[in-house]
Structure 1
C-alpha cells in the first residue's frame, strides 16, 4: 500500500490558526474524495471530547475529524495534557489517564509518550491517503527542543514536510516568520516548504512588498494570505472565544465565571451564539452583573477553582441571586461544587483533602481513580421532555438525596444530575447540555425566557466549516501542497 501523503502545519505562536487551517484543509480534501485524517501528536488543552473507541482527545481534533467526515478516534491525538496546576498536568495516552506529572517529570516521560505518538502515526498512515498534522505552540521554543514530540521533533522522526502559519492580526508577522525560521536547525529549516499568513484584513496590494521581501529573504514561498473571517464559529481548542458579539434585543441574561482551570467551556457556545441571550464571561476581579441564569462550567481542579470562586465572592453572589428567584446550572465540576462536600482522597487534583462545597444541593462528591468517558443521549426531566445529547468526562462520583430528583435520564435508563426541590438549581455531568436544538429552548424556558429562536449548533458548525474550506480554496496554493488533488488532473 502506498505511503500516505502527509503535511504538518506549525505556527509561529499559539493561536496562530493551526487548528483552523487543518480543519479547513480536512474539509477540502474530504470534499475531493480523499481519505484524510487529522493528527496532533501532543496537545495541551482543557477542552476535550470522547472518542468512538472510548477515550479522550483534544476538542480541536474532534472538530478536525468532523471536518474530514470521521468519528473522533484516540489515534488523532495520542498524547493529551490537561493542566491541573501551573507546573503539573494529567497525562492522557491513547485516550486514557496514564499519570499525573510535573513539567519536569513529564520531560523525562517523553520517550514513552513519543512511542505512543509513533504507534498512532503508523496506524493512520496505513489507513488513510492523507494525514494532516498539527503542531503545538511554536517550534522555536529553544528550551523545549530536547525530546520534542509536538513540533519539529515529530516532523524529523516521521519525515514530514512543514508549513508555517502566522497571525498578521497580532502584528509582527514578518518577524514571527523570519525569527521562527532562523531559530530552527538546518535540517528543520529544510522541512519548511512555505508560509501561510492568517487573519489579514485590508488591501492586499499594500502587503505585497512585504511578501516579496519575505520570499527573497527566506527563499520560501508565501503559499497564501487568508482573510480575517468575522463571526467564524468553530470549537475552541482552549482559549475563550469573544462572547460580546453584537446582538439585537436580548431576552435572557446569562453569566459564567472564568475559573483558572475552566474546562470544556464549549458547553456554553450555544448560549454565547444565541441571538436573544446576553451571555457574559466574568473574569477575576470583575463583579458579577445582574443575571437571570448563572452557569458554573466544568473544571479540571474542582477544589482549587471552588476556592477561587469563594475568593471572588461568587458564593455570596450565587446565594443572593437565588434569593431573588434566579436560576443556576452546574455542569460536571460546576455540578460538584453545588454539593455539600468535595473529597479527593487519592490526591488526584492536588492534596488528599475534603472541602465544603457551596451547600446548595444535598450531595457529596468523591474523586475516584477511574475516569468516566462516555458519549450519551437522553431526555431532560423538565416540561416537554426535550432530547439532549453530549458526553461525560469526569472522575467524581456524586451521592446523596439530591440525586433522587434527577435532571435528566439517559437512553440506557440511568438517571443523571439533580433538580432542586424549588426548581431553581439544575446540575448534571452531561457536557453539551445546551447543544441539542430541542434542549436549548427547554432550558431557556426553565430559566425564565420562553418562545425564543432555535439555535442549531451542529448546523452552524457544518456551515462554518464549509465557509472556511471555501475561503482556503480561494486563497491558498493548493496545487503546490496537494498536486494529486489540485494539479492538472485535479482541476
Structure 2
C-alpha cells in the first residue's frame, strides 16, 4: 500500500508506475483505492463510476478499469455533503457526519472488492487517500491505516520534497500513528526531487537513523507529464498569439480532465479562470461539468461571468457547454427532488431552447459516433443525472449509435453536449477547434502522450521496485529472480 504524508504527495503516480513496471515483467497486476474523494471520474468496463486516477492506473497495468478498483467514491456537492458511490453506483447523498457513521458499512464493500481483486490478480497495488496522520479521521478509517491493518498490508510512505519540510512531514506522520501502524511502514519514498543528490544525503542518513526505517527511493521531478489529475487543476502555460480557450472554474467543477488534450495542444492557449478574475478576451469559452449545476450557475452569475459570456457571443466568440455546462445553456434547470442540493428551479442562460430536469438515476456510458457538424468521429463517456428536453435537441451536435446527442444553436455559435472526453478524440478535437475558428487545426494524440508519460514515471521508479524486491525476497534477488 502506498500512503502519503499529504494530499498530492505523489501516491497516484507511484501506484501507476509500479503497476506499469510489474505489468512489464508479465505479472497480472491491479490498482486499488478503498476510498476516493474526487470530482474527476471515469466510466468502467462494467458500467460503473470510479476515480479518474484508478482508471489511469488500470491503463498502466494493462487491464480494463473495474468498479472493484475503487469501491467507494465520494463526489462532493457542497462543503459538507457528497454523493456516495458504492461499487460504481450512487448509494446516497450524505452530510460528512452521516458518512462518518456510514463508513463501517462502506468497509464491507471495500473488503469485498479487495478480496475479488486478490482472487483474480497476482499483485494488487493499493493507494491511500490524503494522509494517515489525520487524527480526526482515524476512527472508522477505511482509506489508510484502517484498511492496511484490516488486511495486514505493508505500507510505503511517500513525501513530496518539492513542497519543503519533507523530513518534518515524515517524522510528524510517524508520530501521529500507533505503534502497530508505525511498524507497518517498510520505508519512505522522497518524491519530486531536483538538484544534487549528494546534498540530500545527510538528511536521508539522519532520517534513517531517527526512524530506523530505510529511504527506499528518491524519485526525480519530471516535467511535461500528461497524466489525468485526480482533482487539482493544473494551470496551462500561456502561448502568446495562440488560439485562446477560456474555462471558468466552478466551485464544483467536475471532470476537468476534459481539457488535458487542449492543454497539450501547441496551437492553443488554455486559460482556467478562477473566482474574482475577469474572463479575458477569448476565441472559445467552454463551460465545464458540474456536480451541482444550479449552485454553480448561481455562483457564476455572482461572479458577473454571465454578462462576460454574453458579451463574448456578441463579439462573435464561440461557446461550448459540457454536461453541467450544457445544462446551463438552456432555459431552466429544475431539481424538484433535491438530487444535487436544495429543491428548486433555476433559470439558465436561455441560449438553447431546452429545459433540464434532475433525476436520481445516473447515466453512465462509454459512447462513440460521428459529429453532426463535420465529417469526424467522436468518442467519450457520459456521467450525468439530468435529462434535457426541447426543440434545441432537434439540431444535435453529435450522432451516437444513430441517436441525436447534444445541441447546436441556429446561428452556429453555441454547442452543448453531455459527452466528456470529446477533446481526447483527435478527429473530434480538430472538428471542434475548426468549428470554433482555428483554421487547419492540428491534431494531437493525448492517449499516446499519456502512455509515454506512464512509461517515463515507470522508468524513474525502477529504483523503488528494486528496493521493494530486495525487501520482499532478498534470496531470490541475489539469485537474479524477480
TM-score normalised per structure 1: 0.96
Counterpart of 2:224? 231
How many residue pairs get aligned? The number is 480
- Structure 2 residue 407 is matched with structure 1 residue 414: no
Residue in 1 that maps onto 2:194: 201
2:394 aligns with 404
Q: Quick check: 1:14–1:137 contact (8 Å CA) kept in 2? A: yes
- Say if 2:304 is the partner of 1:313: yes
- The answer for the alignment partner of 1:49 in structure 2 is 42
Inter-partner Cα distance in structure 2 for 1:298 and 1:255: 14
1:15 to 2, 8, 12: 8
- What residue in structure 1 maps to residue 469 of structure 2? 479
Checking the alignment, whether the CA contact within 8 Å between 1:364 and 1:400 is kept in structure 2 is yes
How far apart, CA to CA, are the structure 2 residues paired with 1:237 and 1:193?
A: 26
Name structure 1 gaps, 5 residues minimum.
Answer: 1-7
Seen in structure 2, the aligned counterparts of structure 1 residues 486 and 461 have a Cα distance that, compared at 3 Å, is farther
Task: Report deviation, 1:489.
Answer: 3.0
In the alignment, the residues of structure 1 paired with residue 443 and residue 481 of structure 2 have an alpha-carbon distance, to the nearest angstrom, of 40
Q: 1:441/1:224 Cα in 2 relative to 1: closer, same or farther (>3 Å)? A: same
Residues 274 and 482 of structure 1: is their aligned pair in 2 closer, same or farther, counting only changes over 3 Å? farther
What is aligned with 1:4? none
CA contact (8 A) 2:217 2:463 kept: no
Aligned to 2:442: 453
- Could you list the runs of 5+ residues in structure 2 that have no partner in the other structure? none
Shift of 1:466: 0.6
Shift, 1:483, TM fit: 4.1
What does 1:25-424 align with in structure 2 at a 5 Å threshold? Answer: 25-244=18-237, 247=239, 250-383=241-374, 385-410=375-400, 412-424=401-413
For 1:271 and 1:382, locate their aligned partners in 2 and report how far apart those are by CA, in whole Å. 20
Q: 1:163 to 1:285 in 2, by over 3 A?
A: same
State how far apart, in whole Å, the 2-side matches of 1:345 and 1:54 are.
27
Aligned counterparts of 1:109 and 1:131: Cα–Cα separation in 2 = 26
The SS at the match of 2:461 is helix
Task: Compute the displacement of 1:41 (Å).
Answer: 0.1
Cα shift at 1:452: 2.6
Contact conserved, 2:250 with 2:296, CA < 8 A, in 1? yes
Q: Could you tell me how far 1:374 is from its partner in structure 2?
A: 0.3
User: How far is 1:52 from its partner?
Assistant: 0.6
Contact (CA 8 Å) 1:325, 1:424: kept in 2 or not? yes
Distance (whole Å) between structure 2 residues aligned to residue 28 and residue 348 of structure 1: 42
> Is the 8 Å Cα contact of residues 88 and 103 (structure 1) preserved in structure 2?
yes
> How far apart, in 2, do the equivalents of 1:488 and 1:250 lie?
59
Take 1:59 and 1:132, find their aligned partners in 2: how far apart are those partners? 16
RMSD: 1.3
Give the superposition deviation at 1:479: 2.5
CA-CA distance at 1:441 after TM superposition: 1.2
The DSSP-based 3-state class of the residue aligned with 2:343 is coil
> Deviation of residue 474 (structure 1)?
4.4
